[in-house]
Structure 1
Amino acid sequence: MRTPPAPLARLTAPLAVVSVLLLAGCSGSTESNVGTESAESTESAESTESAENAESGTSVIAPVVMAATDLPGQTVDLVPGQVLDITTGDDPVDTYDGQVAEPSVAEFTPGRLDGNAAFNPGVTALEVGRTDVTLTGGAEDITFTVQVVAD
Structure 2
Amino acid sequence: MKISKLYAVIAVVALAAGLSACAAPTPVIAPVTMDANDLQGATVDLVVGQVLNINTGDLAVDSYSGEVADTSVAEFVAGREDGGATFNPGVKALAEGSTKVVLSNANGGIQNLTFTVDVGK
**TM score, norm. by length of structure 2:** 0.77
Partner of 1:54: 24
Partner of 1:29: none
Q: Secondary structure, in 3 states, of the residue corresponding to 1:94?
A: helix
Unaligned runs of 5+ residues in structure 2 are 1-20
Partner of 1:143: 114
Query: How far did 1:149 drift?
Result: 1.0
Query: Does 2:45 match 1:74?
Result: no
Measure the CA separation in 1 of the matches of 2:33 and 2:83: 23
Greater strand share, structure number: 2
Measure the CA separation in 2 of the matches of 1:114 and 1:91: 17
Map 1:122-137 → 2, pairs under 5 A: 122-137=90-105
Q: Deviations over 1:57-76 (max 9, x none)?
A: x2100100000000000000
Partner of 1:95: 63
Unaligned runs of 5+ residues in structure 1 are 1-50
Compare 131-140 and 89-98 and name the one that shifted more.
131-140
Q: Deviations over 1:68-115 (max 9, x none)?
A: 000000000000000000000000100100000000000100000112
Which consecutive aligned stretches of 4+ in structure 1 deviate over 4 angstroms post-superposition?
A: none
Measure the CA separation in 1 of the matches of 2:100 and 2:29: 22
Which amino acid letter does the alignment assign opposite residue 146 of structure 1?
Answer: V
RMSD: 1.5
Measure the CA separation in 2 of the matches of 1:133 and 1:52: 38
Measure the CA separation in 1 of the matches of 2:41 and 2:32: 16
Which amino acid letter does the alignment assign opposite residue 144 of structure 1?
Answer: F
Q: 1:53 to 1:94 in 2, by over 3 A?
A: farther
Aligned counterpart in structure 1 of residue 81 of structure 2, from 79, 99, 113? 113
Which amino acid letter does the alignment assign opposite residue 94 of structure 1?
Answer: D
Aligned residues: 98
Which amino acid letter does the alignment assign opposite residue 87 of structure 2?
Answer: F
Which amino acid letter does the alignment assign opposite residue 112 of structure 2?
Answer: D
Larger Cα-atom Rg? 1
Q: Secondary structure, in 3 states, of the residue corresponding to 1:133?
A: strand
Measure the CA separation in 2 of the matches of 1:67 and 1:129: 23
